[in-house]
Amino acid sequence: MRVSSKKIILRVVCLLAALAFIAAALCGCSPEDDDPGDDGAGREKAEAFVSNVLTVTATDSGTTRSGSSVIIRKGENGEVLCLTNYHVVMGSAPVRDAESGEIENAVMPQITVTNADGDAFSASVEGYLPYYDIAVLSVAGYGGSFTEVTEADLSSASDGAAYAIGSASFSITLLSGETDDFTAVSVDRLIGSGEKSVPVISATCPTVEGMSGGALLDSGGRLNGILTYADDGGCYAVPAEIAMAVLDAADGGETDIMGGSLGGYIVRLSRTSADTGIYEICVLDTDTYATNLYPYGFVGTLTSGLSVTQTGSACPLEVGDVVTAVGDVEVSGRASLRAVLAELLSYSSDGTGKALTLQTSRGEETIADLRRK
């Protein structure tokens, strides 16, 4: 019996597909999926991202600190904006004198950033948020190559392969490992006041001294977080969406202490559950951070809206309110976390601009004590 050429071709295609499926099963992956542990496309993107990572040296009061920084994008005035750690560039947290109200020991350091090609540039602090150990640097006239980080380049993955990039012995280095999960860790060592914890991503990349402020990338080579510290078990990074919110709030503004952290309140995020990924947004008193609500503050769980679970003594919100807009930002669940956080960071009890308005299920409420900076 004669078999048509079409049937022969079909049988060959089916055989090849079967062989591909068997091979995929033997190597523990599917043909469609990237293996999280594969050093293929993800590693290539990570290697390309090395051009976005800089060595940072900061000097003030005779003390020099070093670490890393990550180029994110160009700012409103054409300068290059970078993310790094607060403890790398600022050292210790500024303190406001209780009587005079003046900020003490907030000396702006002299900062130099150096890229992987050895080219050095001056940088300045654009803004910072000590609570999350995040600072934003501005580099005017940057002449090196880099790739702007867009929304598509960000990741909230909490498992799979990971790549850490930072300055090891003043040389930009890429290290491999795996991300574990979101973890609540104490940040006493970073800003040294009270008991505080923040959500971070833990990974097994064996980072070394000097990589603080560098990049943690996921298996696809996307920015997962900003490295903040390490221990014997691996490294920890501030989630990208939190770090990017600080940058968004600082972009185009004056050098400032973000989030009103010396203006009467601070914004804290906590994960209600590592499994659900639900965030709790807290507007707290700066003196105690973790326990006391700012009188005009509130606590809300970010689901479809911001569901208020606790209010300060002077806050116009009520428990049970659902906040649908914070200032100029619509609250639409996890997808709006970065924008909501950046909006809150743009207000302070020291601000002189418009007061913070909140759209709720009962109508509009205004917190007159929190104003645009």
Mean pLDDT value of segment 152-169: 82
Residue 10 domain-assigned (yes or no): no
DSSP character string of 146-195: -----GGGB----SEEEEEEEEETTEEEEEEEEEEEEEEEE-HHHH-SS-
Among 256, 279, 312, the domain boundary falls at 256
Which of 244, 285, 254, 290 has its CA nearest to residue 269? 290
Within this chain, do residues 107 and 232 fall inside the same structural domain, yes or no? yes
Does 187 lie in the same domain as 52?
A: yes
- Measured CA to CA, the distance from residue 276 to residue 334 in angstroms comes to 11
Over range 198-219, report the average pLDDT.
86
Q: Which CATH number characterizes residue 252's domain?
A: 2.40.10.120
Is 121 in the same domain as 79? yes
Do both 240 and 321 map to the same domain? no
Residues 153 and 294 in one domain: no
Burial zone of 5 (CB within 10 Å; 0-12 exposed, 13-18 middle, 19+ buried): exposed
Say if 118 falls within a structural domain.
yes
Q: Which of 3-12, 65-74, 105-114, 196-205 has the highest mean pLDDT?
A: 65-74
Does 214 or 30 have the greater pLDDT score?
Answer: 214
pLDDT of residue 103: 56
Number of domains in the chain: 2
pTM recorded for the entire structure: 0.79
pLDDT for the residue 136 = 92
294-322 pLDDT, tens digit per residue, is: 888 898 998 889 999 999 999 999 999 99
Residue 96, C-beta contacts closer than 8 angstroms, at least 6 positions apart: 102, 103, 104, 262
> Is residue 24 in some structural domain?
no
What's the confidence (pLDDT) of residue 107?
A: 66
Name 363's Cβ contacts closer than 8 Å, sequence gap at least 6: none
Predicted local distance difference test score (pLDDT) of residue 325: 96
pLDDT at 24: 31
When mean pLDDT is compared across 23-37, 194-208, 322-336, the lowest value belongs to 23-37
119 or 293, which is more confident: 119
Q: Last residue of a domain, which of 256, 281, 304?
A: 256
Nearest Cα residue to 187 out of 201, 173, 172, 198: 198
Number of helices and strands in the chain (H, E): 6, 23
- Other Cβ atoms closer than 10 A to 223: 24
Q: Average model confidence (pLDDT) for the chain?
A: 77
Tell whether 266 is covered by a domain.
Answer: yes
357 and 330 co-located in one domain: yes
Among residues 256, 282, 304, which one ends one of the domains? 256
Highest mean pLDDT among 68-72, 284-288, 311-315: 68-72
The predicted pLDDT at position 257 comes to 54
Q: Are residues 235 and 298 in the same domain?
A: no
Mean pLDDT check: name the lowest of 2-16, 23-37, 49-63.
23-37
Q: Is residue 4 part of a domain?
A: no
CATH code, 275: 2.30.42
The answer to whether 186 touches 238, Cβ cutoff 8 Å, is no
pLDDT digits (tens, 9 = 90+) for 87-140: 898 865 555 555 555 555 566 789 999 999 999 999 998 888 777 888 999 999
Judge if 290 and 232 occupy the same domain: no
- 247 and 267 both lie in a single domain: no
In this structure, the answer to whether residues 142 and 212 fall within a common structural domain is: yes
Q: Taking 90 as the threshold, does the pLDDT of residue 56 lie above it?
A: yes
**Whether residue 172 sits in one domain with residue 94:** yes
Whether residue 22 lies inside any domain: the answer is no
With respect to residue 205, please indicate whether it lies within any of the assigned structural domains. Answer: yes
Read off the pLDDT band of 192 (50, 70, 90).
very low
Q: 360 or 34: which carries more pLDDT confidence?
A: 360
Domain containing 352 equals 258-372
Looking at the fold, whether 287 and 247 belong to one and the same domain comes out as: no
pLDDT of residue 21: 32
Establish if 232 belongs to a structural domain: yes
